[in-house]
Amino acid sequence: MYFRFTAGLLLAMAVSMAGTWLEKCTRSVQREVSLQHYQADVLRELIVRRRLDAAKLTGQRTAQAATAETVTDVSRASTGRFAAESQP
């Protein structure tokens, strides 16, 4: 009688301890996944910022190049060389 009671009690404790251990492992994995999601979000925001910076810098260069071409075209037109160059 005492043997069955002790065996049942030990089995219940073993199942409880195994459940606690599994829950602890699951929570640990959930924390790691949550941290990785956070880091991925931070990296996405960083990539977006870098792309915006690159677009701004490229836009400035493009605007400067377009301004330089416009100035060159205007100076050619005022000297008459633009019309001569466009004819074959």
Whether 58 contacts 52, CB under 8 Å = no
The pair phi, psi for residue 72, each rounded to 5°, is: -65, -45
How far apart are the C-alpha atoms of 2 and 9, rounded to whole Å?
10
9: which 2 tokens? 């009690």
Q: What is the pLDDT of residues 40-73, one digit of tens each?
A: 999 999 999 999 998 888 877 776 676 666 656 6
pTM for the whole structure: 0.54
Using 50, 70 and 90 to split pLDDT, how confident is the model at 9? very high
Q: Where are the domains of the chain?
A: 2-86
Query: In the block, which residue shows the tokens 């219940």?
Result: 12
